[in-house]
């Protein structure tokens, strides 16, 4: 079975991530979207919330499952018996870090290849951080994230507002 792992923070999932998920799912028998648990970035959503949103967003894609992981992505890929790691490239600014990560991972696990998909042009500017910032200041993010993520962000921000 050809299996790939697509690791990331997904805090929250954007249309850019969904584009990579849909396209990479077509290349393999099974795609495991792996949500990083021990995220140093102080995420807006807990790992359980991120997994739940992703499950809703991908419920119609048969060969996709959502998991959480901690530690190294490459170790998680091995644990899943995946032959590939998937990463999206938006712009040249992503390239340095992604190349470094792919090459390090290749030394750690020569049997796992990183596949890069270039993000579709209409989503090339998108990032979870900018989406959160726009939402935080009350901007409309419906063009940036799928409906379940939109609802979750609105709920989360309302909850935070109430607590302040
Ligand atoms: O969505 P992101 O934040 O760009 O994803 C980055 C991620 C989760 C893929 C990366 O930080 C990662 O793999 N973290 C787990 C630890 C690890 O494997 N680091 C890379 C060592 S080369």
Q: What is the pLDDT of residues 137-161, one digit of tens each?
A: 999 999 999 999 999 999 998 866 6
Number of the ligand 1 atom closest to the C-alpha atom of 100: 22
How many CB atoms are located within 10 Å of the residue 141 CB?
20
In which residue are the tokens 């299996």 written?
Answer: 3
Distance between CA atoms of 79 and 45, rounded to whole angstroms? Answer: 25
Which residue, judged by its Cα, is nearest atom 6 of ligand 1?
A: 8
Q: For residue 164, what pLDDT is reported?
A: 64
Burial class from Cβ neighbours inside 10 Å (0-12, 13-18, 19+) for residue 101 reads middle
Q: What is the pLDDT of residues 82-121, one digit of tens each?
A: 999 999 999 888 999 999 999 999 999 999 999 999 999 9
Number of the ligand 1 atom closest to the C-alpha atom of 34: 8
Quote the pTM value. Answer: 0.95
Cβ–Cβ under 8 Å, residues 12 and 149:
yes
Which residue, judged by its Cα, is nearest atom 12 of ligand 1?
A: 73
Catalytic annotation, residues: 17, 41, 90, 128
Which residue, judged by its Cα, is nearest atom 15 of ligand 1?
A: 72
Cβ–Cβ under 8 Å, residues 132 and 44:
yes
User: In the numeric block, which tokens belong to residue 8?
Assistant: 């990331």
Give CA torsion, residues 65, 61, 59, 23, to 10 deg. 80
């Amino acid at each position: 079975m050809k299996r790939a792992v697509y690791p990331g923070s997904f805090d929250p999932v954007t249309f850019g991530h969904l584009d990579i998920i849909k396209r990479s799912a077509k290349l393999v028998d099974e795609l495991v979207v792996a949500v990083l648990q021990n995220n140093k970035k102080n995420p807006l959503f807990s790992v359980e919330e991120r997994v739940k949103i992703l499950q809703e967003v991908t419920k119609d894609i048969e060969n996709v499952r959502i998991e959480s992981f901690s530690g190294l992505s490459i170790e998680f890929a091995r644990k899943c018996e995946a032959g590939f790691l998937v990463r999206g490239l938006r712009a040249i600014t992503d390239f340095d870090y992604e190349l470094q990560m792919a090459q390090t991972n290749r030394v750690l696990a020569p049997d796992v290849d990183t596949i890069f998909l270039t993000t579709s042009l209409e989503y090339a500017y998108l990032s979870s951080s900018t989406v959160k910032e726009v939402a935080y200041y009350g901007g409309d993010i419906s063009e940036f994230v799928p409906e379940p993520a939109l609802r979750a962000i609105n709920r989360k921000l309302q909850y935070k507002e109430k607590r302040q």
